[in-house]
Amino acid sequence: MNKGQLVDAIASGAGLTKVQSERALSAFIGTVSESLTKGENVALIGFGTFSVAKRSARNGKNPRTGATIKIAARKVPKFAPGKGLKDLVNGVKKAAPAKKAAAAPAKKAPAKKK
């Protein structure tokens, strides 16, 4: 599934327009990215946790020349799936069908005075 397909699925599952679901997805990605940049974890109970891990500096090898190179220390984003997601993927638990959001009730026009 790519981003466009995900936007379509969110739109149909949440009863939103594609534009609204694109904004919601972009806001989610931006918020998670900003939190990780600050070094904060983002935990979604039952789904998983986004976190930042530190990789220490190490020696590696250039695959073409075989020369030893120094690989700098860095931070990398990580995702650890939660129990609920693991159970779904392994078939232990079945996914709940996507709920369609109820449409907002239409506003009634004010009664005309006679």
* Average pLDDT estimate for 80-93: 91
Is the same domain home to 56 and 25?
A: no
Give 17 or 102, the one with higher predicted confidence.
17
Parallel, antiparallel, or unpaired for β 42-44 and 68-71?
Answer: unpaired
Based on its alpha-carbon atoms, the radius of gyration of the chain, rounded to whole angstroms, reads 23
Say how far apart CA 20 and CA 7 lie, in whole Å: 9
pLDDT band at 93 (very low <50, low <70, confident <90, very high): confident
Tens digits of residue pLDDT in 18-55: 999 999 999 999 999 999 999 999 999 989 999 999 99
Do 60 and 71 touch, CB atoms closer than 8 A? yes
Same domain, 34 and 48: no
Residue 9: domain span: 1-38
Count the helices and strands in the chain (H runs, E runs): 3, 5
Residue 104 lies in a domain: no
Number of domains in the chain: 2
**How much is the average pLDDT of 75-86?**
95
Task: Give the pLDDT band (50/70/90) at residue 109.
Answer: low
Q: Do 88 and 45 lie in a common domain? A: yes
**CATH number for 81:** 4.10.520.10
Shared-domain flag, residues 23 and 46: no
